[in-house]
A and B are shown apart, each in its own frame.
Chain A
Amino acid sequence: MKFTCLSKGSGFHFPPCHILDVSGFRILLDCPLDLSALTIFYPVSPSPKMEEGEQTYDFAVNNCLDMRKRQKILKSLICAQPWYKTPNNLHLWDPSSIDLVLISSTMGMLALPFLTQTKGFSAKIYATEATTRLGQLMMEDLVLMHNEFHLFFGSDSGSPQWMSWEELELLSPALRQVALGKDGTELGGWMPLYRSADVEDCMKKVQTLKYAEEAWYNGTLLIKAFSSGLEIGSCNWTINSPKRNIACISSSKFYSVNAMEFDYHALRGNDLILYSDFSSEGILTNDEHDNNFSASTTYNPSTPSDCSADNDDRILKECLLRNDESLEERQKLAFICSCVVDSVKAGGSVIIPLNQLGIVLQLLEQIPVYLESSAMKVPIYVISSVAAELLAFTNIIPEWLCKERQKKLFSGEPLFSHSELMKGEKLYVFPDVHSPELLTNWQEPCIVFSPHWSLRLGPVVHLLRRWREDENSLLVLEDGLDTDMALLPFKPMAMKVLQCSFLSGIRLQNTQPLLEMLRPKEVLFPEDLREQIKFSGSHSFSVLYYAENGTLGVPRSKGSVDLEIASDLATQFSWRKLDHDDVDITRLEGQLFIDHGKHQVLSGNKVSEPSRKKPLLHWGFPDVEKLLALLSRMGVKGSVERCMNDAESGSDEIVHIHEPSMALIEVRATRTVISARDEQLASLIFEAIGTLAGGI
């Protein structure tokens, strides 16, 4: 097995991307887009016909086309139709060599249309049903938002000007680093965005799965997705190959309010775990004095013998309880809600360009509660081309949600309250800022949920321009964005900015207890987290560290293949005891079938004849004196002749048989030849040799 980390990604929106070679098949794990790189482009947004009579474009952008000012602005942001950054290393691989693509979240599929439109790409793509639907909506939305640039700059053709070296030289160091990567090699990762036809075509190629549904690839690999708790539909994959069972752990959340809970029990018992949750990178735990978190200090298995699976499970649960994630996350949301209420109370509006569906759904539920309790009547708008469908979708997928949400199904309530809020005219959903319904409904102050979190695409651009000078207004930003660069086109800004980070993976405190519970033999672990976690000495697995763009060869683990032998064959066995110990052996003959990852020996077409019961393999050396004695007991008489003919083969011994008929036995070091005309006699001698030398 070989493993290559193409990209370790960064944050919730840009998950890692790996290549795995298993049993002769090449598997690509996730195919993400680095949308944070969009911030190097200057946003455009048509102002809607809200106050102005006709649609005009932002003044600054018009200026940016002015050649005299071009150079100056280039130093800040690129004024061009944006391209999109894919993991650069992905392009070093021949797409036609990929057999399988496994998508673990909506974020992990945003670059998929680039791959599916490549010539020669024919891999099977697996994703969960929910991820596929949500991912499609996200991509369609992306394409629609990008159309604004299309309208403004016209259709782009060929390599854009900003990608020329002369212009790249003019970029500020910060921008250049985003464009070219830290080592200046990543320019090849940039792609012009796919079209909606490409998205449609891509979706047709995705094979959707339920959680824990079995999918067989080529009758050899068993692929299954299990909930990771990170987001609705997101999953961790297990790959069972004849030689090794692998679990790939992507960013997973123990605490989940919407998505189905992290199903870690299903990952137990695999030989190898690919730990690919980078969410804790650079985050130092603050509950300990030393920054290096050592798992051994937090729990001690009471006795070494007490290492049952149940006990591991208990230790993990205790650990999770001690580091309660839910409380902290709830507090963060509560803080956002109170900031939102404060802003609208002061007459300001709030723009929330978050794209984490889970967080958005929670805020949509909690903000109205906060507004109610402070007796505020402020409309909430969700503006996005796919919002209506997205919200409707969340209310018909109980199978993908956590236990608490499922209870609502069983009591006949809507899964999420947004449908009721819409009926109660507290929440409005509009496709874009130009929609007539929006214009007739529009009220300020208001609270708006709208993409895109990069602040370069979508309705958020317009709304930011509208409210940036209002000191009472509030912008809620996601962590992981370079705020300086992100806010650059909106400066000067008077509005408040709240940047918040949400837990989007496994905390390092829980990593070792989790791995202990899963009981793998080997763990592939990120080199970048090596300093942050010191596996305590007692762990039962070996750890191999991997780094971005490095390839690890993992030596074969399972020494043998599990074989199933049909019972009708088993009834025909003729056992033979090996005299030196408690070992029985028998010859096995049949036809080998490999299907559904199983090796089965079934009785083939060949009908086994009686002669087949004779030993076909001999070892040792028959003692000639004993042979003669044995033969004479069988009524076969003969005499020995020794000849020393050549050095190589050593001494030959020849037994001449006179009775019952003529025969000859030539005994050499590695070979005995029986020569007789009498079939029965030959066979009798063969039998005698078989009992003296070992045979099967």
Chain B
Amino acid sequence: MTLKSLNNEAIFEKKKRFRERVKDFFSVTSTYIFSSFTLIALIAIIVFIFSRGYSTLSWDFITGDYNPTTYVIRTDTESDADRLDNTFDYTPREGEYFSSLWGIGFMDEENNVGEKIVIISYVDPNANINNIVDADNNPFTIEAGTTVNSALLYNDEGRVSIRIDKGAQEVAKRFDECPYILQMSLTTGGDGIRGSFISTLYMIGITMVIALPLGISAAIYLGVYAKENKITKMLRNMIDMISGIPSIIFGLVGGIIFLPIVGGNGNLISGSLTMAFMILPLIIKTTQESIKTIPKSLSDASLALGASQTQTTFKVILPNSLPGILTSALLGISRVIGESAALIYTSGVAILDTVSPTQGSATLAVHIWSLMSGETQNYEASCAISIIILIIILVLSIIIKLISFITERKKRRRG
């Protein structure tokens, strides 16, 4: 080799190395850019949802009724017990207006669709002995947080009608002037998600009861009994294809097939049936994957010990694919919790407080849809529900990871 050719080679090497380094640089930076972009998007979603929804989220929100309760109350004029001869002493908070005659504080607020309202923000512990009765003449206790819809008071000069739209200050002033309530309408509670939460639980339960046995038997059939031929191959491909169908189409088909059966606009059962068919491919595939990982030597051992194929299936294959079955169930539950499109047509969008499987009612995800599809959108409540859904799904995926971690470790120990 001459010196010159050696030199040439060195230059070539150098060039090649340079080119490789440039290539590395670009691939590394692009990886960084794209992954940080993904990360930022994820964080943005979580921050947005949490910041908007956090303040709404509370135990009352989760366990409360969606429909508010309205009471009409008045002073019981027939009873001559405790008149308002005392005055109450209380230092109101900022923005709070106190009626010392009634011992009640009022505050201006906005409801979650942005309208100005007046709420009762404070009730003195001794204030409720004022002979207030509801429409059925039962003694009534006013609670803090109640919204005042309207009030008609009375004093020596006659009736005093209160303009709620003038704000809390005006309301408190009028209450101080009048010792009697002729008629006052109050609203408490509302906007809770208990009904939707229970609907979601029903939906999960019924869906799993339908989908798990079907899915597991199909997976066993395909993974254990079915002979490898054109029909089973087609079946497998079809299962793959079904898992790609958009959920709204499942909703349409479910509506066409199941609504005539259950009648009306559908109920939780028709919704669950639709969901069951939607998650069936998922369950079949996940279960089948886990059946595939069971060593053939185990089923061989079972058969060689004189066990029938059925005994082998139930004693060896099923117990050993339990982690996979569990994982498929949890994945299915995640799908059910997050699904809205397929349910709008099949189990209705009505948000109910008392839920029954034979009635149509919104699940949590459909609840969000309902809140957002009206004329005024309620971002706060929607984000609060989203937080709940996200947390449940997070917990489910942690469990799934845990299951796969444990089974992996077991497998490794088995060697």
- To the question of whether A and B form a pair in one complex, the answer is no
